[in-house]
Amino acid sequence: MNDKDRRSSEWFRLWPWLAAALSGVLLALCFPPCDIGGLAFVALGPLLFAVWLKKPARRSGWYHFRLGYITGLVFFTTTFSWLSELAGLFDSKMLLGLPLLLAAFLALYPATWAWFAGWIVGEHFKPIPQPDPTEPFSRPPLLYSTRNLFFSLLIAALWTALEWVRGWLLTGFGWNALGVSLHEELALIQIVEFTGVGGLSFLLVLCNAIGVITLLRLRAEIGRVRLRPHFDFSLTVALVVVVFSYGARVLFSEQTKAKTEPKNDVTSLHVVALQPNIPQKWKLEHGHEGEIIERLRELHAIASLTDPHLVLWPEAVVPGGMFSDEDTHKFVLELAAQVPALLLGTDDNDRGAKGEDHNSAALLLSGEKDVQLYDKRHLVPFGEYLPLRWALGWIAGDLVPGDFKPGRDVGLFKLKEPALTLAPLVCFEDTLGDLAREPVLRGAQVLVNITNDGWFGRSCEPEQHFVNSIFRAIENRRPLIRCTNTGITASVDSVGRVEKWLSPFQKGFASKQIRIASHGAETFYTRHGEVFSIGCAIVSITAIFVHALLLRRRTKTS
């Protein structure tokens, strides 16, 4: 074999792996810090080309699985690279490997999808030989639009189902689902009031699959006498147009409604959000409690002069928690008495007869002794508790010395003036669609997230956290207000329009008026949750079972 043939052979073996890695890079570019959402329409294309064009003679399923795993490993390691910031915070070089460790698990999802994409299609998209001159109208399977569309819909359904599973399996980490990349495309994302983010992911994967199929069809049709219409491509484009048109109609209706809506149908809530920008090192080290207290006192004193209805403090902002000792409790009550209502985050330790620890939100109303409490229900693994402590305690026990207990009740806070019901969401609970919709079902009119993104330094984590939370407002058609220690302190209206109030790592406060519909209707998503994604999971399981059965019968008859 000469050098030219050897190089050609090496390239033939190597290009599928490079294509899989390229898909991982393109997926990462869809999210902050690059945030090029339009790439999501083509990001999976290189991986699909590698799966459908390069078929080894044996063990093709394992081969496709490995291609998908490479894509996932590159994507998740890159997009969640901010986890390595914990190494400096805890002075542990072991934590530098956290992004790769998490990616090693999460990559199983795109790997499973790549296996399915190759297996369910079978020989349908294999390279097509030159057409037989004696059979000018012969049609290989690739040229059937109905079959192409059918397979593409199945592939899109499985991706959507896997993202849904990723959001809850082993407590779940569903950040950066493919549909989240479209957060700036307001007209396209309005369908999440029916489908959740899963509907957007489904649409994007369908576009990726049909795009690759169209290129393969064009290659196959070169030299043929008669070309067929690409109904699969046309129907996919039509679906995108329908989704866009619906969203444009919603946005237009919202603008018209804002101009003509009677004043008694809208409540104006004057909110002040404090962003104290307390360094995370201060929270982990003793001796900074006085500085934190004075920073809160200073900002609150100025904010209270704006005559707000509600003042927000971020997550776990009070040193030791507002119930930790008498002096801290008096400090919180003193400042709460200066405003009609104060909502703050507090670590609530040794509560009740069982002495449980909770990460909580508390609402204090002027003139009332009772404190409204909400305990965070979805805890952060390896942050707020250590999974399998009996097995992993010797490895990470020092980093997570104690476990918080998850709350049991849906959070609902009642304001007196104006008379409103708030849904408190603590930390990354604003990224969980099913959790956020539950209080809306029980009457919540506005979502309020208190969080602290200071754990991850000057990384892209605060922006990723924020873009994942935007969809909670659209899914439920309720405004979302975010108050952070440092991060993205902002508001999102019911159609996803964003107003950023303060920049990350800026100490200060924002005073804003929030328009809230007095009688907001419940959306399909609010009532039924992730039914679209669950439907995709049922379709995928059925397709796997039926296809396996057909292959078995075909093997017996051959």
Residues 527, 524: Cα–Cα separation, whole Å: 5
Query: What letter does residue 344 receive in the DSSP assignment?
Result: E
Instruction: Give the angle subtended at the CA of 55 by the CAs of 51 and 56, to the nearest 5°.
Output: 130
Residues 521, 428: Cα–Cα separation, whole Å: 25
Would you call 339 helix, strand, or coil by DSSP? coil
The answer to whether the peptide bond before residue 276 is cis (omega within 30 degrees of 0) is no
Question: Is the Cα torsion angle 151, 42, 189, 31 positive or negative in sign?
Answer: positive
Name the burial class of residue 338, with classes exposed (0-12), middle (13-18) and buried (19+) by CB atoms within 10 angstroms of its CB.
middle
Please confirm, yes or no, whether 460 is among the known catalytic residues.
no
Question: What is the SS3 assignment for 11-46?
Answer: HHHHHHHHHHHHHHHHHHHCCCCCCCHHHHHCCCHH
Name the burial class of residue 90, with classes exposed (0-12), middle (13-18) and buried (19+) by CB atoms within 10 angstroms of its CB.
middle
Among the listed residues 376, 384, 475, 536, the single catalytic one is: 376
One DSSP character per residue, 357-425 reads EEEEEEEEETT--PPEEEE-SSPPBTTTB-TTHHHHHHHHTTTS-S-PPPP-S---EEETTTTEEEEEE
Residues 428, 452: Cα–Cα separation, whole Å: 9
Please confirm, yes or no, whether 376 is among the known catalytic residues.
yes
Among the listed residues 85, 221, 283, 427, the single catalytic one is: 427
CA 89 to chain CA mean position, Å? 25
- Residue 47's nearest CA partner among 81, 84, 18 is 18
Joined tokens for residue 193? 């009031």
Q: Say if residues 199 and 177 touch (Cβ distance below 8 Å).
A: no
Single-letter residue type at 556: K
Would you call 489 helix, strand, or coil by DSSP? strand
Residues forming a β-bridge with 351: 356
**Greatest CA separation found in the chain?**
93
State the pairing for strand pair 446-451/372-375.
unpaired
Would you call 163 helix, strand, or coil by DSSP? helix
- Residue 374's nearest CA partner among 435, 434, 417 is 435
What backbone torsions phi and psi does residue 453 show, to the nearest 5 degrees? -100, 15
Distances (CA, A) of 76 to 92, 255, 374, 455, 540: 21, 38, 32, 19, 24
Among the listed residues 163, 221, 315, 530, the single catalytic one is: 315
Give catalytic residue positions: 315, 376, 427
